[in-house]
């Protein structure tokens, strides 16, 4: 009945993907990421699901709707998802991933604030 129940769910859903994204970003910046990396494959799949309006994974759809409300460009995200599934990752893709990581960070911090009131 309070906002806590709603935002607790969103917080939980974003947390896992935010960790995954930062893990992949570190490997990409280190040039140690390969197509076989499990985390890279998972991230690519998540990004493509985010932009797929037919995706049947409810938690992923809810994240997509939250990001769309905050003006994240989902078309660009689909491009990065595809790039992660190929060898064609360049600096601009990393920059977009960095922006997405920041958006997820803001979403998660916002969800925590709504769950608990401002926590600092």
Partner 1 sequence: MNSYFEGAIRQHLERGRQLLARVPTDLPREFHLLAQTCNRELAHILDELESLLSDPRMHLPKHQSERLRRYRRAIRQLSFLEAIGIAALERANRHDRSLNQLIEQIVNEISYPLLPPVVTALSQQYFHIYPQLGLLSVPLSEGDFLLHLPDLLHELAHPLVTERHNPRVKPFQNSLLKAIGLVLAYMAEERIKEGRRRGPSQIEFYLRQWEKSWPSWVIEFFCDLFAVYTLGPSFAWAHLHLCAKLGPNPYQVPLLRGSTHPADNARMTTILYGLENSGYSKETRDIRDRWQQLLRISGTKAEPEYRRCFPEHILKALAQIALKGITAMGCRVANPNMQDPIYSILNQAWTEFWHAPSDYAIWEKTAVKELYRLCNSRCMTESERDYTEQHSKHC
- Positions that interact with partner 1 (CB under 8 A): 1-9, 11-13, 15, 18-19, 22, 25-26, 29-30, 56-59, 61-62, 65-66, 69, 98, 101-102, 105, 108-109, 112, 114-116, 119
Cβ proximity to partner 1, 35 vs 95, nearer residue: 95
Buried b (16+ CB within 10 A) or exposed e, 54-70: eeeeeebbebbebbeee
Question: Are 57 and 45 within 8 A, CB to CB?
Answer: no
Neighbouring C-alpha atoms within 13 Å toward the C-beta of 102: 8
What are the helix (H) ranges across 1-117?
Answer: 3-29, 38-50, 58-69, 74-84, 91-116
Least distance in angstroms from the C-beta of 65 to partner 1: 5
Tokens of 16: 């896992």
């Amino acid at each position: 009945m309070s906002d806590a129940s709603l935002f607790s769910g969103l917080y939980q859903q974003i947390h896992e993907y935010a960790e995954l994204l930062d893990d992949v970003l570190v490997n990409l910046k280190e040039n140690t990421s390969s197509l076989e990396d499990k985390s890279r494959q998972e991230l690519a799949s998540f990004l493509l699901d985010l932009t797929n309006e037919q995706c049947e994974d409810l938690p992923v759809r809810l994240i997509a709707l939250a990001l769309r409300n905050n003006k994240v460009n989902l078309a660009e995200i689909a491009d990065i998802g595809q790039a992660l599934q190929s060898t064609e990752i360049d600096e601009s893709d990393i920059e977009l991933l960095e922006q997405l990581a920041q958006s997820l960070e803001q979403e998660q911090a916002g969800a925590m604030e709504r769950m608990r009131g401002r926590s600092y």
